[in-house]
Structure 1
Amino acid sequence: MMNTKITLAIATLLALSGCAVKNLAADTLTIKVIPPANYTASEPIHVVGSFNEWALDGEKAYELKTENGTLSATIPVTEKNVFFTLVKNKNWQWMPANEMAKSQCIYLHQNTGGAAKINVHIPLWTGDKPLTKAAPSLSGNIVQHKDFTLPQFARSSDIHVYLPKSYQLNAKKTYPVLYMLDGQNIFDAHSAHSDEWRIDEQLEELTTKGTLAEIIVVAVPNSAQRWAEYNPWDFKDRDGKASKGQGELTIRAIKDTLKPFIDSNYRTDPQPAATGLAGSSLGGLMAIYAALEHSDTFGFTAAFSPALAIEDMDGKNVLFEAIKKHKNSGNSKVYFDIGQMEYGNYDQIEQLNSLLLKQGFKPENLKLVKDDLGRHCEVDWSRRFPAALEWLLAGI
């Protein structure tokens, strides 16, 4: 199945594209593609992106052509930043993947004018059989708790806990804790669905330099029911059917089961001001929900590219409607960000910011970051993570 985060990003782009600024002279970009070794000419490959409203059909569609044994397409460039990807057989299930068959981030070309060229090598398509396995990439002191029971869902999950460098050196020191959703993508390339966040490598480097405070990070993986477990409110699913959100159970699993275990077994600062929750896409939606409804536990939250297009059966935005009805803003610090290409503009993230302010969140407790180069993928969330955490931990 296609990565749900990529599905959400593409669906949003298809619905909200056409908002790019077009103030540059008409330039071109030639994309030359080396397809997988088993590629056959009967398999059409299209380049889609912000330049053509992500169209696979009609006059705006661009199919790669073979010339002198090379697959290529030349597209018009009227934007400063061009985002694009490739699709095989006009099927969004078939997009570029690496040798491990893990999906890749959408490509970015920064236009400097004139006729530009870019070479793209596609080892595999998403859904292909991997050519090799990703090697484990854990760094630092990471403890695994296999098959940790979550009674709220009558199942278990493998929980990974990153401990700071000084943890073994100072037996009296306590640390703030950040719980991160989609935990399989946080530390390890082997378990990551696509790219990993490299949180362990970043913390090892930045805390050694003294540019970031030390913190314990608990990676909480999702299940196959991610869409329900990371939706706090009842919602319309991708097939247009009514679905029951189980996000409250996910928060309860962390709040009532996992957090007490972590606080009992590690030297944590258990106070709300030192306890955070972070997630991306639907996980970002969960982070905002935690700030709204569970500020008694989570004093800071981080929502990377939160899902802002989830609707109920009446077509209303579930997040915005929940904020409007919310009575108590709490005191949580909330970091949230978005890439411009994800929704075509910043209108929705600005609306989110306005609603939170209107409902009583203090301006100094909100941090909105707009990333003109941001895409909906782990590579860019990882890039924005250090600055987000630095702001969230200030004063703790």
Structure 2
Amino acid sequence: MKYSRFLTFTHQLLAMACSIWPAGLAAQEQLAEGLSVIRDFPSHFVSSRDVYIRLPEGYQEGQRYPVLYMHDGQMLFREVDTWNRQTWAAGEVLRTLAMEGGAPEVILVGISNLPVERHANYFPEKPFMSLPKNVRDTLYSLKRGEQPLFGRAVNSDAYLKFLVYELKPFIDREYRTLPGQATTFIAGSSMGGLISMYAFFEYPEVFGGAACLSTHWIGSFEQNFEIPAAFLRYLQARRPLLQGRRLYFDHGTATLDAHYEPHQQDVDRIFGGQPGYLSRKFSGDAHTENAWSRRFHLPARFLLSVE
């Protein structure tokens, strides 16, 4: 496919240009057995941020592991790190899955968000730039409380370059990973669901699967039909890139998730029936880490299981 080959070629060129590792990488801080964090992980592309690394139980010489990259890393492991005292308990979920034989052991990399830049980092850039200028200007004028919803111009393409050309090479060099596409996955919720979807389609040679929970199809906190329509156009054009990979979506029906169902149904009409696609609805589930934690085992099993 010409589109995929062009992406691969240009990404390889960029990787060569960015081969010099940024200076100033901090030492890892051990938080618990198997869980550490690198504070202010440096980048040429985006602002530095904390990166959590959770190793599987029994991590040992002679064995290599798949890698799951997840956004909003400070919400994944410890209540003390979260703003709402809720957490995915992602390490416990993955450990239970492995013990039950539902999925292999996996290295989990949690990339923290920067609250002031989160919307700009996670809003897919190509769909955003396809919006009419007046819609983009309106989005940039929105506030969340006293702060702008977008703390800067949308830069999700740069955020993905950070993941692919800086963070992933570091993880593959420092840990016993299985670095290939078939064993590299990405996941997140809400805006993290959008950027996981975007990574899956922008880097088909890198990510073999993506899990997008409570995907924030409306793009802001006000309904605007042009935003989900832009996502649909983007996805329709990339429909063939699903082949041979796995893509998971879900949504609840309460709080913010109540807005997602019609847009998710439109996405399901694009991909439904294709091998490697799964979409789920969870009646009564709200837009919270507690809800995502309860069902995280389902997308994890879907992405990681060898059938």
TM over 0.5: yes
* Residue of structure 2 aligned with 1:201, choices 87, 92, 113: 92
Q: Retained in 1: the 8 A contact 2:77–2:87?
A: yes
Q: Deviations over 1:187-235 (max 9, x none)?
A: 1111112211111222333323434321000010011210111011224
Note closer, same or farther for the CA distance 1:314–1:197 as it changes in structure 2 (3 Å cut).
closer
User: Within 2, Cα distance between the matches of 1:286 and 1:145?
Assistant: 22
346-355 or 314-323, larger mean C-alpha shift: 314-323
Q: 2:258 matched to which residue of 1?
A: 343
Contact kept, 8 Å, 1:140 with 1:200, in 2: the verdict is no
Q: Which residue of 2 aligns with 1:304?
A: 213
Q: 1:227 aligns with which of 111, 119, 137?
A: 119
Instruction: State yes or no: 1:373 paired with 2:284.
Output: yes
Deviation at 1:327, TM superposition (A): 6.8
Residue 71 of structure 2 is aligned to residue 181 of structure 1 = yes
The alpha-carbon deviation at position 297 of structure 1 amounts to: 0.6
Does the 8 A contact of 1:284 with 1:306 survive in 2?
A: yes
Q: Does 1:191 align with 2:81?
A: yes
What is the TM-score of this pair, normalised by structure 2? 0.75
Cα deviation code 1:324-368 (max 9, x no counterpart) = 3437524331111001232357322111111235xxxx7221110
Report % sequence identity: 29
Which protein has the bigger strand share? Answer: 1
SS in 1 for 2:306: coil
| Structure 1 position 315, deviation (Å) | 3.0
CA distance in 2, matches of 1:393, 1:203: 10
| Count of aligned pairs between the two proteins | 253
Residue aligning to 2:25: none
- Structure possessing the higher relative contact order (Cα contacts under 8 Å, 6 or more residues apart): 2
Q: CA deviation at 1:240?
A: 5.2
Q: Is the counterpart of residue 145 in structure 1 residue 38 in structure 2?
A: yes
Q: CA RMSD in A?
A: 2.6
- The one of 139, 145, 150 equivalent to 1:237 is 139
Q: Is the 8 A contact 2:103 2:306 kept in 1?
A: no
Gapped regions of structure 1 (runs ≥ 5): 1-137
1:38-88 residue CA offsets vs partner (Å, 9 max, x unmatched): xxxxxxxxxxxxxxxxxxxxxxxxxxxxxxxxxxxxxxxxxxxxxxxxxxx
Native 8 Å contact 2:68 2:107 kept in 1: yes
Q: 1:158 to 1:355 in 2, by over 3 A?
A: same
Residue 214 and residue 163 in structure 1: after superposition, are their counterparts in 2 closer, same or farther (change >3 A)?
Answer: same
Does structure 2 retain, via aligned residues, the 8 Å contact 1:284–1:302? yes
Alignment of 1:225-374 (within 5 A): 225-233=117-125, 234=128, 235=136, 236-237=138-139, 239=141, 244-310=153-219, 315-317=226-228, 318-326=230-238, 328-331=240-243, 332-341=245-254, 342-343=257-258, 346-357=261-272, 363-374=274-285
Counterpart secondary structure, 1:174:
coil
The answer (yes or no) to whether the contact 1:140–1:201 under 8 Å persists in 2 is no
Looking at structure 2, the residues matched to 376 and 290 of structure 1 have their Cα atoms a distance apart, in angstroms, of: 22
**Residue 212 of structure 1, aligned match among 97, 103, 110:** 103
Q: 1:389 to 1:139 in 2, by over 3 A?
A: farther
**How far does residue 146 in structure 1 lie from its aligned partner after superposition?**
2.2
Partner of 2:133: none
TM (norm. structure 1) is 0.59
Tell me how far apart the structure 1 counterparts of residues 94 and 239 of structure 2 sit (CA, whole Å): 37
Q: Using the alignment, how far apart are the partners of 1:141 and 1:363 within structure 2?
A: 37
| Preserved CA contact (<8 Å) 1:176 1:274 | yes
Match of 1:55 in 2: none
Closer, same or farther: CA 314–372 of 1 in aligned 2, 3 Å: closer
For residue 173 of structure 1, report the CA deviation from its aligned partner: 0.8
What do residues 277-310 of structure 1 show as CA deviations (whole Å, max 9, x unaligned)? 1011011001111222211111110001001112
Larger radius of gyration: 1
